């Protein structure tokens, strides 16, 4: 059938373009993922969406298509914490592995998925590999208290091909917006993701709410899921489709963060997580409000849908992550 008729709708510029409905968006991306669209059509689709911008309906349709095709991880005993990681770090430490290890230290299963779309960045997967955590070649059970990571090509080759279009056109594609909202697992999951530009928060929370997902969002460090530990960003949560503002952004920037080096080399960017993830090492102070939210997701059933519960507490009352309480978090 092809996707040219969709491109005619979305490719008329910022004023003339028409948004697709959810079913149309699912059909469009499904054809792209299934290899039914040519390279020129895919390039035109990516550029058109870059100019127009995705709507909530379109993002829901894109996720419908992706979730119908990607390989998924089996359900876990406790909610899976999912960290999309597609940016990496260029100037600062890549702290997503540290966030993953700190969450796993509290007994939760953690899944990180991503791939390289820019050659000059250090990826979270690179750091995990350096720490002796090999990448999975296919979805598998993730034990409580462990970190697993997998390349996007092993979730779905077509999705990896779409992301790789960035290397040809020099622009992010709709696939990049999609994977930030992708939780490729069965059973309860908490998506911990980020946005780079503040205007994207409306589309992200709107999509997560429409799909009834559970998520924690903040403005990421160089586009990664981990927030900048030098600052207190705004945190938004979505619980079973209901949006909550968990914490407002605070002014000020810390001059230094204990245990986080000032990276000037590739080696320094890799060296951060190992010492910081030990039980005796404090979590970066600016992460504590984020931690207080993410660590309190529970795996017990709620109603008939097995929804994880979330409790929000003020950062001042949040339990320091290096101390443990008896019982479940």
- Classify residue 224 as left (phi > 0), alpha (psi -120 to 50) or beta: beta
CA–CA gap between residue 104 and residue 143 (Å, rounded): 10
Q: Which of 101, 99, 50 is nearest to 224 (CA)?
A: 99
Considering the domain architecture, whether residues 63 and 196 belong to the same structural domain is answered as no
Q: By the 8 A CB rule, do 96 and 225 touch?
A: yes
Domain presence at residue 74: no
Domain end call among 67, 93, 113: 67
Terminal C-alpha separation, the chain: 51
Number of C-beta neighbours around residue 296 at 10 A: 18
What CATH number does the domain containing 115 carry?
Answer: 3.40.1030.10
- Classify residue 75 as left (phi > 0), alpha (psi -120 to 50) or beta: beta
Considering the domain architecture, whether residues 60 and 207 belong to the same structural domain is answered as no
CA dist list (Å): 224 to 4, 136, 228, 262, 278 = 33, 20, 9, 18, 22
pLDDT of amino acid 242: 92
* Structural domain boundaries enclosing 14: 4-67
Domain end call among 18, 33, 67: 67
What CATH number does the domain containing 62 carry?
Answer: 1.20.970.10
CA dist list (Å): 124 to 59, 61, 101, 157 = 25, 28, 12, 20
Separation of CA 327 from chain center: 28
pLDDT of amino acid 173: 93
Task: Provide the token pair at 300.
Answer: 């017990």
Domain end call among 29, 45, 67: 67
Each residue's pLDDT tens digit in the chain (329 positions)? 689 999 999 999 888 999 999 999 999 999 999 999 999 999 999 999 999 999 999 999 999 999 999 999 999 999 999 999 998 877 777 889 988 999 999 999 999 999 988 777 888 999 999 999 999 999 999 999 999 999 999 999 999 999 999 988 988 899 999 999 999 999 999 999 988 888 889 999 999 999 999 999 988 777 788 877 777 788 899 999 999 988 887 776 665 655 555 544 444 445 455 545 555 455 555 555 555 555 544 443 344 344 444 333 333 232 233 333 333 33
Q: Where are the alpha helices (DSSP H) in the chain?
A: 4-10, 13-16, 22-33, 39-52, 56-67, 96-105, 124-130, 152-155, 157-169, 174-179, 200-210, 266-270, 273-276, 288-294
Show Cβ contacts of residue 56 under 8 Å, excluding neighbours closer than 6 positions.
203, 206, 207, 210
Considering the domain architecture, whether residues 249 and 116 belong to the same structural domain is answered as yes
pLDDT of amino acid 305: 41
Beta strands across the sheet bearing 80-84 = 147-151, 110-114, 80-84, 189-195, 215-219, 235-239, 242-247
Reported pTM: 0.81
CA–CA gap between residue 291 and residue 304 (Å, rounded): 27
Domain presence at residue 322: no
pLDDT of amino acid 212: 94
pLDDT of amino acid 139: 97
CA dist list (Å): 299 to 71, 173, 237, 248, 276 = 22, 34, 17, 27, 27
pLDDT of amino acid 290: 53
pLDDT of amino acid 317: 31
The count of structural domains within the chain is 2
Domain presence at residue 325: no
Q: By the 8 A CB rule, do 106 and 329 touch?
A: yes
CA dist list (Å): 87 to 104, 226, 307 = 22, 11, 30
pLDDT of amino acid 72: 98
Considering the domain architecture, whether residues 307 and 179 belong to the same structural domain is answered as yes
Domain presence at residue 179: yes
């Amino acid at each position: 059938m092809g996707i040219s008729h969709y491109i005619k709708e979305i490719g008329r510029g910022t004023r003339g373009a028409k948004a697709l409905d959810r079913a149309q968006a699912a059909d469009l991306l499904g054809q792209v993922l299934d290899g039914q669209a040519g390279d020129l059509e895919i390039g035109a689709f990516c550029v058109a969406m870059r100019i127009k911008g995705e709507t909530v309906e379109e993002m829901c349709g894109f996720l419908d298509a992706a979730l119908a095709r990607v390989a998924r991880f089996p359900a876990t005993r406790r909610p899976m914490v999912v960290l999309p990681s597609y940016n990496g770090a260029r100037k600062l430490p890549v702290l997503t592995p540290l966030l993953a290890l700190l969450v796993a230290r509290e007994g939760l299963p953690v899944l990180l998925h991503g791939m390289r779309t820019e050659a000059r960045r250090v990826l979270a997967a690179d750091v995990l590999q350096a720490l002796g955590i090999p990448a999975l070649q296919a979805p598998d059970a993730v034990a409580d208290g462990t970190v697993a990571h997998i390349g996007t090509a092993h979730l779905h080759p077509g999705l990896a091909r779409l992301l790789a279009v960035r290397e040809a056109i020099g622009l992010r594609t709709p696939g990049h917006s999609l994977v930030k909202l992708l939780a490729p697992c069965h059973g309860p999951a908490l998506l911990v993701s980020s946005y780079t530009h503040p205007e994207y928060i409306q589309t992200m929370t709107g999509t997560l709410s429409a799909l009834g997902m559970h998520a924690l969002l903040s403005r990421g460090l160089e586009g990664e899921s981990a927030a900048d530990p030098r600052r207190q960003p705004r945190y938004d949560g979505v619980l079973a489709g209901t949006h909550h503002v968990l914490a407002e952004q605070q002014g000020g920037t810390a001059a230094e963060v204990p245990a986080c080096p000032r990276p000037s080399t590739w080696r320094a960017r890799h060296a951060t997580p190992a010492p910081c993830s030990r039980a005796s090492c404090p979590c970066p102070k600016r992460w504590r409000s984020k931690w207080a939210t993410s660590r309190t997701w529970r795996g017990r059933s709620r109603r008939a849908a097995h929804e994880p519960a979330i409790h929000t507490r003020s950062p001042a009352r949040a339990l320091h992550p290096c101390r443990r309480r008896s019982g479940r978090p």
